[in-house]
């Protein structure tokens, strides 16, 4: 299939452009918009053909459902069956980086939910996203706006790189504040839920609102994940990525040794450790600044690909963040381990 659409680019603050893009979306066209997590590739959630076109534009497998974005938590009423726990979570975390899976109403076509009877509801906090959804006047079905298998886009330039000619408009909202996708949760009882995908809302934050929070594994080989997206190898840079597990000193020594032995590598590192690596390091920020690691991770993976286009790179190394723990670390781990195709080296 060829994609030769004329793509309207809407700058930050261009209210007329935003209205035009919202009108385009309501009319069945595809529009990329910023959110606080990553950019989304939107279609009217009421329009089966537009939803189908989202999969085509991304090259996304048709069995992986889209989530639906609303301007206010109550807007979920017309598309899904809500309950008390939904509103408890909405009060605590919406607008913000959480997606809540609910039973869908018939108005949402099968093309959006990949034939399933549930739908993910997300209410983004990014002011441009909020305004865009409000202006569109319809709920917006949107996956992340990357080509399938590429890192999710956290900057306008990532969207133009992947999607020029494939969508009708791209709205600039600056750099995404969180940089990793939303936490996807399945409500399993009156006071219990399961995390299907770790993200911007941590397990500890959820535990302040719900007593029983479990984490779906589904990442081990052969298991069927509850969240279909988790079965695909995502976020993969073109060069093999290895996660290095060990103290920061051991990791940096290991990479130095590899360079000394003639290996052509890139090192995704922290500010404090990047000295001495010159052009082969890409920093995620200060070693303790986990928010910065999350915010810059996808851009770093894209940067690694870009460098690999002009220079031969044999391997990319990165720290293995802690898999458990608080805050954003589990979400960072989840993205990196898949980008690395589960390759961890103990150093």
Query: Which residues are at the interface with ligand TXA (CB under 6 A)?
Result: 35, 37-38, 40, 64-67, 97, 99, 101, 113, 116, 118-120, 122, 142-144, 181-182, 184, 196-197, 226-230
Alpha carbons 193 and 29: distance in angstroms, whole number: 35
Alpha carbons 37 and 267: distance in angstroms, whole number: 25
Q: Choose between 170 and 210: whose C-beta lies nearer to Mg ion.
A: 170
Alpha carbons 160 and 17: distance in angstroms, whole number: 17
Shortest reach from residue 227's CB to ligand TXA, in Å: 4
Shortest reach from residue 68's CB to ligand TXA, in Å: 9
Q: Choose between 144 and 292: whose C-beta lies nearer to Mg ion.
A: 144
Measured over the CA atoms of residue 121, residue 127, residue 133 and residue 134, the dihedral's sign is positive
Instruction: Determine the residue with CB nearest Mg ion.
Output: 144
Interacting partner of 139 out of Mg ion, ligand TXA, none (Cβ under 5 to 8 A depending on kind) = none
* Strand-strand pairing, 67-69 and 140-141: antiparallel
Which phi and psi angles does 236 have, rounded to 5°? -90, 120
**3-class SS of residue 54:** helix
Does 183 help bind Mg ion (rule: CB under 5 A)? no
Shortest reach from residue 39's CB to ligand TXA, in Å: 6
Does 144 help bind Mg ion (rule: CB under 5 A)? yes
Shortest reach from residue 143's CB to ligand TXA, in Å: 3
Q: Which two tokens stand for residue 37?
A: 């997590």
Does 154 help bind Mg ion (rule: CB under 5 A)? no
Q: Choose between 37 and 144: whose C-beta lies nearer to Mg ion.
A: 144
Which is nearest to 140 in space by CA: 126, 152, 150?
A: 126
Q: Choose between 144 and 154: whose C-beta lies nearer to Mg ion.
A: 144
Q: Is 76 left (phi over 0), alpha (psi -120 to 50) or beta?
A: alpha
Enumerate binding residues for Mg ion (CB under 5 A).
144
């Amino acid at each position: 299939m060829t994609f030769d659409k004329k793509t309207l680019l809407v700058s930050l603050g261009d209210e007329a452009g935003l209205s035009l893009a919202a009108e385009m979306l309501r009319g069945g066209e595809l529009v990329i918009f910023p959110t606080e997590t990553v950019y989304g590739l939107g279609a009217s959630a009421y329009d089966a053909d537009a939803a189908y076109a989202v999969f085509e534009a991304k090259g996304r497998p048709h069995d992986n459902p889209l989530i639906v974005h609303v301007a206010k938590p109550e807007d979920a009423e017309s598309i899904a069956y809500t309950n008390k726990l939904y509103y408890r979570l909405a009060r605590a975390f919406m607008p913000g980086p959480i997606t809540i899976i609910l039973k869908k109403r018939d108005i949402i076509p099968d093309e959006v939910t990949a034939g399933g009877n549930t739908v993910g509801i997300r209410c983004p906090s990014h002011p441009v996203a909020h305004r865009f959804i409000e202006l569109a006047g319809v709920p917006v079905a949107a996956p992340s706006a990357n080509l399938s298998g590429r890192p999710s886009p956290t900057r306008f330039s990532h969207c133009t790189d992947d999607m020029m000619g494939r969508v009708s408009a791209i709205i600039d909202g600056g750099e995404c504040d969180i940089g990793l996708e939303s936490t996807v949760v399945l409500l399993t009882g009156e006071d219990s839920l399961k995390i299907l995908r770790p993200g911007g809302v941590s397990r500890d934050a959820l535990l302040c609102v719900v007593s029983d929070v479990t984490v779906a594994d589904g990442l081990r080989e052969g298991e069927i994940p509850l969240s279909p997206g988790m079965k695909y190898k995502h976020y993969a840079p073109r060069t093999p990525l290895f996660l290095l597990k060990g103290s920061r000193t051991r990791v940096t020594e290991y990479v130095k040794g590899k360079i000394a032995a003639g290996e052509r590598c890139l090192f995704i590192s922290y500010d404090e450790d990047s000295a001495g690596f010159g052009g082969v390091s890409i920093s995620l920020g200060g070693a303790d600044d986990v928010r910065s690691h999350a915010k810059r991770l996808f851009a770093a993976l894209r940067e690694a690909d870009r460098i690999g286009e002009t220079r031969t790179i044999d391997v990319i190394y990165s720290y293995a963040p802690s898999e458990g723990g608080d805050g954003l670390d589990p979400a960072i781990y989840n993205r990196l381990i898949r980008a690395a195709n589960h390759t961890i080296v103990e150093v």
